[in-house]
Every structure is written in C-alpha cells, then in structure tokens.
Structure 1
Amino acid sequence: MNEDLKAVTVGRYLALRLRELGVEHLFGLPGDFNLSLLDEMLMHTGLEWVGSTNELNAAYTADAYARVRRSVGALVTTYGVGELSAINGVAGAYAEDVPVVQITGATSTTAATTRALLHHTLVDGDHGHFERAYREVTAHSEVLRVDSATQQIDLALLQAVRTSKPVYISVPTDVAVAVVDGSNLTWPLRRPQSDSLMLSQFRAALTERLTSTQNVTVLAGPRLHRRGLEAAVTSLAETPGVRIASQSGSKAILDEAHPRSLGTYMGHITRSQTVRELVDNADPIVLAGVVLSDLLTGFFSHGFDVSEAIALDLTEARIGGSRFYGVLLEDSLQTLKEVVSDLALEDEQTDTAYLGVAATETTGEPLSQAEFWYAVQQWLPKSSTVIADAGTAFYGALELAMPADSDLLGQPIWSSIGYTLPATLGASLGDTSKRAILFIGDGSAQLTIQELATMLHRGLTPVVFLINNAGYTVERAIQSPDAVYQNVTGWDWLRFPQAFGAGDRAATYRVSTGIELQEALAAASDNTATLVLIEVIMDRLDTPTILTELAAGLAAANTAREARK
C-alpha cells in the first residue's frame, strides 16, 4: 500500500475517491467555511479547480459535466448562502437523474454542538437546516464525523452511482483537515451489480413474453444516457426485428439515420404519424430508461398501455405486473438483446427515416424560426454536443436531424431556464473531443450569462446562438403574449465577450436575415479557435412547430385545472 495513503486528511480522501470515479474538474466558489477543505482536496490529488461565477451556475456546470462523461460531477460550496444558491441546480439533477455530488464546507463540529450564532446561519442555533433541505433533493446525505468519515464518503458516492441521483456531503471545517486511515483507498468503490437470481428470472419471463412476437419496439429514454448505454442501444438496433424510438430527453441516442431508428416520440406531438402509430400500437412496447412526464409524453397523450409494457429501469425491470428488483438497466438491456437475438426475428420494412427540419428558402427578409432551424440543420457539423435551453431553443432543436456522433443536451423535465449556458462550460470540459453548440434565448441568458467569462478565461471555443426575441416567447405562446411580465430589458449582447475580457478569443455576429445568418455560419465553421457568439434577431411571437403544439397543450391543461377549482 502507498505509505502516503495510510494517513490522509478527510478532504484528500474525498478528492481521491472522486478521482477514482472519473472526476477531473471540481466546480464551485470559495467561502470561509470551505477554504481548508479546498486546500486538502486540491493538494496533490489531480483535481483541477474551476471557479464558477455563482453557486447555481456551478451546480448546472457539474450536472452537464456528469452527463457528457457518463460519470459523476462535483461542486463545492460554503455553508448556508452558498449551498442554498446551488440547490435549484441540484434539484434539477435529481429530476433528470444526474449523479452530482454537492459538497458543503460547513461550520465546525463544536460550533454546531454548542449552537453558536455564526454568520451564514439563521442565528437560531440550529446548524442542520440546510442539510435537512438537501434531503428533499438528493438520494443520500451525510454530515461527516471524524470517526466514520471514510465510510460515510464511500456510502454517499456509491449511492450516487447506484441511483444516478445527486448526493450531499457536509464537511465541517475541523473534519476536513482531520487525519484518518486511508486504507480503504486500496480497494476501488464497487460498482453496483444486478441480483443474479432476479436477473435469471427476468430472462426466463422475458423469453416467454417475447416468444410469439413478430417484432420488438423500444422506446429509449434519458436514463439510458445516464448509464452511458448508447453503444448498447446501437448494438440492440443491429438485431433483426428491433426498432427504436427515443424520447425528447434522449434524442439521437441512436443515430437518426440508422435504418431501425424511428426518431423522437412525444405522444400526439410526434412529427411522424407513422412513428406515433408504431409506438402506440406496439405489442410489446419496451420502455427502456423512460420517464413518463408531461412534456416527454405530449401531456400524457401516449397511446401504449404502461401497465402491460416491458419496463427496464435503473435498478429494476418489469414485465406487465411482474417486477424484478435489483436488475440494473445495463443488464436488462443486454438480456433483451440476447433474448431477441435467440428468437431470430425478421425485419419489417417501414419508411420512418427522419429528415429533419423542412426546407426553407434563404432570403433577405426578417429571419423566421423555420428559416433559422433549416439553416442550422444544413450547417450543423458532425461530432457536436448540441445544448439547447428550455423553450424556443430546445423545441426548435428537437426538429433537427442530428448529425452522426452528436448529442442533444437539454433539461426537458426540470426545465430551469438559464441551465444551458453553465452546462456548455461543463460539457466543453467534460468532453474535449466535441465542440459545444449552444442555443439559448435572451430571457434565459440573462440568468447565467456571466459564466461566459469562465469559458473565455479557459480558452473554450463553443458556438453560442443567442436567440433574441425580446423576452419569454415560450410563455407568450402559452398565455398572455402582450403581458408586461413577458418582456425583458434589452441588453447589448455582443459587448459581453469584451466586457468579460475576451480580447481576441471571441468573434461576434448579429444576424436578422437568412443571408446574414449564412455568412455567420460560414464564419463559425472557419473559426474553430475562438468562442463564437451569434445574436439571432427573431420576432417576439414566432415559435417552432413543436413548441406551438406544446404551448397549446400547456394552455389547455391550465384551463382544465382552473375549471376544476
């Protein structure tokens, strides 16, 4: 055993365990309660500090970092003011099944025990308020003690990996620097494994269920992404008799040009009637890593019977009413492939190729959503990480036919506006092999634009399309389009890179016609060495087709709720 590991500080132990899980970057802000912790975590551990502009942005960044690496992300905040600033981002990670480790540098054990009236507390002597708050938005929480710190750290990190949910670790200032036995570091954290008996029973039941089937239709959900199962989905798609649709949160998990790809399914909002009928009428339907939330199902307009489905979830599988606990998603998916392969099904020829955005003529007229997204479709390079904020940006991006080896990263469940700008930082650091391409509205960008400074400082080179439609167009499409609260103050967006110290590390363009857009797109392709910011001027009421239909559904749902009061 490495002699240096026999006696390590708690902070260093935590850092080394994160490194073991694939974490290379640590996000967050310093504060007096976490300074000693940061010193220990960053000293000779290989972790690289990425200072964020605020704690909410740090949480968003860690979320995207975990997504693109198919691992965990981590952030460090100070007690009270810092961790509460981050809690919205951590809650979003919980809703979207992202294993983010929220680490808080907390008041000392003595201060908590003596109920000291310190700054950053609520001055009521109770130092446990915020740990209790985090219990609501994490899968596991720990307040470390010296005598059990290593065990607590391991338990929390294993829960993050097992559940694909965030966890919370509070490290009191005295505990952070306490020296503990690091012997456990000799043994890697054991990845979760399926219950072998349950997996065997699932295989038998699945074989019986599929024996008389002619084909297998799979709806692939976002939890497959969280487990890094893209290759397994592609392998499944190579099996005769299988066809695969995806939810909007997992768009392009299978190459959309693949002959067995059905494209994106969203209930009645599905672009292809053929695809909708194939999914709704499938017998059986396999729900793999699926989340049946309102926006992902077209307001619950899915036509398949969930109770009769074959469901493959993160830690269990189900066939109709029979549940198989302890069967992990990666194993149930592999079992599905093996069983279907043994059945030797035959393919049915179905014309379901998704061609993307409808062709639109490039003009010198004011730019429309239709013209913009078609131009983007033609330009979008291979091997890109496309990141689209909630609202106009995300639902416009959903209409794209994604190029090969590309991902669409969004937040369709939590839908917290502003998420994607810090997420672009996390994605760019998490996967340096792909250029990040961000689509974000002006209203969303006003929440988190300051993280652009961090990207510039680190020399990152994303392409940022800032859709300026003078406010909250997604909300205008739902209700009260002329209400004063739908407007935002106008900002001179192209000045921000220089205000953030860009120097020659950024190129900026403002476009309002198709011709101007084409020129900016060509420049973005040529300029891969700097950040590119393209402000896209749009009409305040113009929306992509999917958003128009989605907004109508939201408006109808709101009306129905009011009628029931």
Structure 2
Amino acid sequence: MSDQTQSGTTSASAPPAPRVTTVTVGQYLATRLVQLGADHVFGLPGDFNLSLLDQMVTVPGFHWVGSTNELNAAYAADGYARIRRGIGALVTTFGVGELSAINGVAGSFSEDVPVVQITGMPSTSARAAGLHLHHTLIDGDYEHFYRAYREVTASATIVRTATATRDIDAALMTALRESKPVYLGIPADVAIAPVHAANLRTPLLAASSDASELARFTAALAEAVSAHPQVTLLVGPQVHRRSLEPLVRQIADHDGVYVASQNMSKAVLDESHPASLGTYMGAFTRVAEARAAVDRSPLLVLAGTVMSDFLTGFFTQEFDEDAAVELALTAARIADTTFYGVRLEDSLRALHSVLGESAREPVQPVGHPAVPDAAAPAAGRPLSQEHFWGSVQNWLQPGTTVIADAGTSFYGALDLVLPDESDLLGQPVWSAIGYTIPATLGACVAAPGRRSVLFVGDGAAQLTVQELATILHRGYTPVVFLLNNDGYTVERKIQSPAAVYQDITPWDWTLIPAAFGAADKVVTATARTEDELAAALELARATTEKAVLIEVVLPALDSPRLLTVLTEAIAAAAAKH
C-alpha cells in the first residue's frame, strides 16, 4: 500500500510500496482466515493438499499446527474456535483424510461451532475425466464425500478458479452468520491459480440485524419487560459463540435480574455473582430455589439456548417455552411474534437497554452449594468420586479453563462451583468421547497464557490420547486428570455393568509421555488413595513450567452425584419402553 501524506500525495521520502494485485487461491484463503482470527490451522498433509498448503504457509501470520490424525484435527479446531469465540479451521486430504474428520465436524454442527473444513482435492482435469485415483471409490465419482459433508455443514462448496474469491468469502460469511461449520473442497490446480487480491483489502464482517425488525423487537421487548417485576435470563451456548459474556455480565448488574446457564455455558456469569443461579438442568438442578427462579419466572428470557435432552435435564423443564422471550442467533421471538433478522448480539443489547429504563427491586441471591468439601485425607483410604471432586473444588484457581470429557468427567465438573473468570469446555450435545484431549490442544493454542485443566476418562482417552504428544512437544502445560475407572462407567450405570463390552484394555498411563518422547516435558503421578491425591494436587499447583499428568484410580461403579441421578433416570426411562 502506498505511503501517503495527509494531503493524499505520495511521500517524497519513500517510494510507493507495490500493490499486490493477485494472489493464489491458497494465499487468498489463508489471508481471510488470518483476518478472521483463525491464524492457527490444524490438520495433516496428504498428496492432494500439498500444493494448497505450500501456498497457505507463505501468508504472514499463518501458523500450521500438525495433528496426529484428522479426527483430532477437527476436535482441535473446534476447541480453538470455542476459546477464541470465532472461527477454527482444519486442512485434510481428499477421501481418507476428510472422512476421518467428519465426525468432529458433525459435532461442531451439532453444537454451533464455526469450523472451516478445507479439503485438498484431485485436480479439476482428473475429476472431469473420472480417473480411478487412490483415495477414491474407483467409480469415477469425486463427489461422494462432498455430498456427505453437505449433511453436516451449513454450506459445502467445491471451489472453481473463476469464482474462487466469491466461493471462499461466501463460505466464511456463512460460518460467521450461522455459527456452523462449512466445507471447502479445493482441487490441486485451483489452489495455485492466481486470483484478484483486491477484496482482501476489506476484512469480512458479520452480518448486521435488520434495522426495522430490531426497532420493532426493541419496542415490544420494552413493553414486555415493563410489565414484570423480575426477569430471569437462561443463557445457552450460543452466547459463547458470539462472545457476548461481557454483555451478560452487564445485564446481570441490573436490579431485578437473575441469570442461569445451561450446562454447555456453565459460568458464563461468574457463579459468585449475586444474580447467578448457577447451572439449570430442569429436575436435576442442584438448588431447588434456583430451579424455581427459572421455572416460575414472571418473565423468562431464553438467550442462545439449546433445548436438548442433556441440557434440559431430559426435558424436565417446567417453564413454558412458548411464553418466554427467545433470543436466537438470527431471530428473536416474544410470545407468538417472531422478529426475523434480529441477531443475538443486538437482541441482548436491546435487553440491556430496556432493563436500564425501568426500576426494579434487587434480587435475593440464591446460594450455590459447592461439592461438599472433602474430608481430611486419610492415609491408605481408597479414593471415591465424592472425595475426588470435593478435593478438586478446593484446588481450582480463578481464571482456569476447565475441560471435561463426556461421562464421569463432565458431570463431575458440572457440580463444581467454578472460580471467577473460569470456563467449562465440554461437548454434552454431541457427546463424543475422546473429544477433549485434542480440544485441549485447540484451547492451549487459542489462549497460550491461560492454563487448562483437563478431566478425561480412561475409555475416552484411549480414542485420542496421541494428541497429548502434540500438546507436550509444543510446550503447553495443562494439568490432566486421567480418571482410571477401568472401563465405561456411564454405560455400566445404565445397563449391563458386568458385560464384557464395558471393559477396556489396561494401560500404564504415566508411561504414555515417555512413549511420546516427552518425558522431560511433564510431571506424572498416580493417586489411588486420598493422601496420594492430596500430594498430587500440591504437586500440580507447584508445577507451572511443565504439564502435569495425574492418573486418578477410582472404583468402576462409582460416579459423581449428578451422573448417578441422570443415569438412574435414563435406566428408568429405558425400562418403561
């Protein structure tokens, strides 16, 4: 770009910098990702994406994060996007690579995470000729996997040179607008093709609300709010996707407002805040008064909620969803009137504004009992889930990213009262076990200065543990609690606890880092008893320059309080059918 004086003429002290007029398609895509904050891209090389990667890595600010397999890359991109509150991206090769990643991308679709799945494809001429190439089904059809991705993304596009900049921008705008994954298939010849660079001078921006609809909604909302002495805001995970936590905190500071969270958005408001009701899960909400403040609210506002089984306590909510004010990603509703084109960020701002225009009495704080404090550790006494989570409650520090895998880990973590400025990252809707180890990589890459604490079961870890090698060799220092309860405890609690399919092969978990060539980058410990856990927690607190891996040995049929009541409900429902 030219160096110009304020008068708009070229400075005599320096020659004009040349204006880049063309870039390759790969460079265009990488530049757009960097502009959107997805400056770290996960994945694996393969012969059909090498030309694409060679172009992408030339872009300033672009960083490649090699993963151990494509599924892990998809999970890592998902975790990265959640922590960055923006877009995540991965690159795979055609066929074998993209199919390995599709489960992770489907989870991102299920949980509203904008991940860009980029597939390097065979050349346009090879595809047109239907050549029987490797990584194909040897039937001349190169669109099998593209069609599969159409089922789990908001848009799927095979990029053509003639429309490449438009194709890329449209896909990225869709991901931003809908907070869903998108798919870009880029043939090898298209990846290196030159395209105009002019569009890159203007970064992409998220769509704005329809002004007239927003005005209508705001007026109707003001009328609804003015008629009620108390408002309860139930906050769902889509608020995270739009980075609206600060706005939720501002709303919580108004008199007459309570704030509860769904379990996928736990601690969206610090749980020590006077307005906080903690986590709402219908009949499984821990504090009866907190549940009543949601179910009996004079005016309930559903902000970015997802009304799925695990997020509603298996549909045991007692509030009338149709009577609530609903603030969704791209529309808002008050009773039976829907306001289309009103985006969540604007509807929440409208709520903040109208609450400030009327006076209410302060709410009475509702207590949130922590997991009961663990008793003083006894030498030689075997660990239990209750003692473990009670000890963790006292050990956690403010500003922690807590990451918990599906099963005992997630439902144990849900009962914690998280310290201020902490987050819980999990995947309760898609509930793919093994998600969290690569998601921890994504979280560490996204926020390297913030320590992650991971809870993962032994069965889940066996699916994706190899990504721990990437975490350690890149120098990240999470604390990992490996909950070794000898198999699939959730399934044992639901049905057939002694069945052979509930068992897993035993591993020596503390030797895993050595097998990864990273023994010098991590401190390990095993806790079988209460006193060993106490020592391990002290070790973890004192160790900040290395990662910490603690194997926690627990009984196979023991489970945290919340998981116990949930699995009992699942088993009872199954018995009726």
| TM-score with structure 2 setting the length | 0.96
Q: For residues 139 and 93 of structure 1, what CA distance do their matches in structure 2 show? A: 11
Q: For residues 104 and 253 of structure 1, what CA distance do their matches in structure 2 show? A: 34
Q: For residues 150 and 140 of structure 2, what CA distance do their matches in structure 1 show? A: 20
Q: For residues 61 and 558 of structure 1, what CA distance do their matches in structure 2 show? A: 34
Q: Which runs of 5+ in 2 are unaligned?
A: 2-16
Deviations 1:76-113 (A, max 9, x none): 00000000000000000001110000000001111111
Counterpart of 2:105 in structure 1 is 90
1:423 aligns with 2:439: yes
What SS is found at the alignment partner of 1:148? helix
Aligned pairs for 1:538-557 (under 5 A) are 538-557=554-573
Q: For residues 169 and 375 of structure 1, what CA distance do their matches in structure 2 show? A: 46
Using the TM superposition, give the Cα deviation of residue 192 of structure 1 relative to its aligned residue in structure 2, in angstroms: 1.0
Deviations 1:274-294 (A, max 9, x none): 111111111211100100000
Counterpart of 1:152 in structure 2 is 167
Q: For residues 194 and 553 of structure 1, what CA distance do their matches in structure 2 show? A: 42
What SS is found at the alignment partner of 1:556? helix
Q: For residues 555 and 98 of structure 1, what CA distance do their matches in structure 2 show? A: 31
Counterpart of 1:107 in structure 2 is 122
Q: For residues 351 and 18 of structure 2, what CA distance do their matches in structure 1 show? A: 46
Deviations 1:295-351 (A, max 9, x none): 11011000000111100010000011110011010110010111111111111324x
Aligned pairs for 1:529-544 (under 5 A) are 529-544=545-560
Deviations 1:412-462 (A, max 9, x none): 100000000000100011012210100000000000000011011101100
Using the TM superposition, give the Cα deviation of residue 381 of structure 1 relative to its aligned residue in structure 2, in angstroms: 1.3
1:279 aligns with 2:261: no
What SS is found at the alignment partner of 2:439? helix
Using the TM superposition, give the Cα deviation of residue 404 of structure 1 relative to its aligned residue in structure 2, in angstroms: 1.1
Deviations 1:195-222 (A, max 9, x none): 0000000011111112220110010111
Which residue of the other structure, out of 204, 219, 240, is the alignment partner of 2:234? 219
CA contact (8 A) 1:395 1:546 kept: yes
Q: For residues 76 and 20 of structure 2, what CA distance do their matches in structure 1 show? A: 30
Using the TM superposition, give the Cα deviation of residue 3 of structure 1 relative to its aligned residue in structure 2, in angstroms: 4.1
What SS is found at the alignment partner of 1:360? coil
Which residue of the other structure, out of 292, 304, 308, is the alignment partner of 1:289? 304
Q: For residues 4 and 486 of structure 1, what CA distance do their matches in structure 2 show? A: 62
Q: For residues 102 and 439 of structure 1, what CA distance do their matches in structure 2 show? A: 27
Deviations 1:118-162 (A, max 9, x none): 100111100001011001000111100000000000000000001
Using the TM superposition, give the Cα deviation of residue 353 of structure 1 relative to its aligned residue in structure 2, in angstroms: 2.4
The one-letter amino acid of 2:539's match is: A
Q: For residues 234 and 72 of structure 2, what CA distance do their matches in structure 1 show? A: 32
How many aligned positions are there? 560
1:63 aligns with 2:69: no
Counterpart of 1:38 in structure 2 is 53
Which residue of the other structure, out of 351, 374, 381, is the alignment partner of 1:360? 374
Q: For residues 162 and 272 of structure 1, what CA distance do their matches in structure 2 show? A: 36
Q: For residues 552 and 309 of structure 1, what CA distance do their matches in structure 2 show? A: 30
Using the TM superposition, give the Cα deviation of residue 382 of structure 1 relative to its aligned residue in structure 2, in angstroms: 1.3
Q: For residues 287 and 536 of structure 1, what CA distance do their matches in structure 2 show? A: 38
After alignment, is 160-169 or 204-213 more displaced?
204-213
What SS is found at the alignment partner of 1:295? coil
Using the TM superposition, give the Cα deviation of residue 531 of structure 1 relative to its aligned residue in structure 2, in angstroms: 1.0
Q: For residues 385 and 322 of structure 1, what CA distance do their matches in structure 2 show? A: 38
Could you say if the C-alpha distance between residues 145 and 470 of structure 1 is closer, same or farther in structure 2, counting changes exceeding 3 Å? same
Using the TM superposition, give the Cα deviation of residue 244 of structure 1 relative to its aligned residue in structure 2, in angstroms: 0.3
Q: For residues 281 and 470 of structure 1, what CA distance do their matches in structure 2 show? A: 42
Deviations 1:352-376 (A, max 9, x none): 1213101231223100000000100
Counterpart of 1:325 in structure 2 is 340
The one-letter amino acid of 1:133's match is: A
Counterpart of 2:150 in structure 1 is 135
The one-letter amino acid of 2:318's match is: G
After alignment, is 51-60 or 353-362 more displaced?
353-362
CA contact (8 A) 2:484 2:553 kept: yes
Using the TM superposition, give the Cα deviation of residue 4 of structure 1 relative to its aligned residue in structure 2, in angstroms: 5.4
CA contact (8 A) 1:216 1:283 kept: yes
Q: For residues 29 and 202 of structure 2, what CA distance do their matches in structure 1 show? A: 14
The one-letter amino acid of 1:306's match is: E
Deviations 1:492-528 (A, max 9, x none): 1111101101142110000011111111111111111
Counterpart of 2:7 in structure 1 is none
Deviations 1:161-183 (A, max 9, x none): 01010000000000000011111
Counterpart of 1:505 in structure 2 is 521
The one-letter amino acid of 2:464's match is: T
What SS is found at the alignment partner of 1:210? helix
What SS is found at the alignment partner of 1:124? coil
What SS is found at the alignment partner of 2:480? strand
1:187 aligns with 2:202: yes
The one-letter amino acid of 2:502's match is: Q
Q: For residues 409 and 120 of structure 2, what CA distance do their matches in structure 1 show? A: 36
1:410 aligns with 2:431: no
CA contact (8 A) 2:282 2:318 kept: yes
CA contact (8 A) 1:15 1:45 kept: no
Aligned pairs for 1:477-496 (under 5 A) are 477-496=493-512
Aligned pairs for 1:217-296 (under 5 A) are 217-296=232-311
What SS is found at the alignment partner of 1:296? coil
The one-letter amino acid of 1:355's match is: P
The one-letter amino acid of 2:475's match is: G
Q: For residues 101 and 208 of structure 1, what CA distance do their matches in structure 2 show? A: 41
Q: For residues 414 and 179 of structure 2, what CA distance do their matches in structure 1 show? A: 25
1:456 aligns with 2:467: no
Counterpart of 1:48 in structure 2 is 63
Q: For residues 355 and 382 of structure 1, what CA distance do their matches in structure 2 show? A: 18
Q: For residues 503 and 341 of structure 1, what CA distance do their matches in structure 2 show? A: 56
Q: For residues 5 and 189 of structure 1, what CA distance do their matches in structure 2 show? A: 19
CA contact (8 A) 1:257 1:353 kept: no
Counterpart of 2:14 in structure 1 is none
CA contact (8 A) 1:12 1:45 kept: no
What SS is found at the alignment partner of 1:271? coil
The one-letter amino acid of 2:67's match is: S
The one-letter amino acid of 1:517's match is: L
| TM-score with structure 1 setting the length | 0.98
Percent sequence identity is 57
Counterpart of 1:383 in structure 2 is 399
Q: For residues 345 and 321 of structure 1, what CA distance do their matches in structure 2 show? A: 26
CA contact (8 A) 2:404 2:436 kept: yes
Deviations 1:230-266 (A, max 9, x none): 1011010011111101000000000000000000000
CA contact (8 A) 2:30 2:59 kept: no
What SS is found at the alignment partner of 2:284? coil
Counterpart of 1:20 in structure 2 is 35
Q: For residues 314 and 18 of structure 2, what CA distance do their matches in structure 1 show? A: 58
Counterpart of 2:12 in structure 1 is none
1:335 aligns with 2:350: yes
What SS is found at the alignment partner of 1:141? strand
CA contact (8 A) 1:218 1:287 kept: yes
Q: For residues 348 and 467 of structure 1, what CA distance do their matches in structure 2 show? A: 39
Q: For residues 5 and 549 of structure 1, what CA distance do their matches in structure 2 show? A: 62
What SS is found at the alignment partner of 1:94? helix
The one-letter amino acid of 1:460's match is: Y
CA contact (8 A) 2:262 2:279 kept: yes
CA contact (8 A) 2:305 2:328 kept: yes
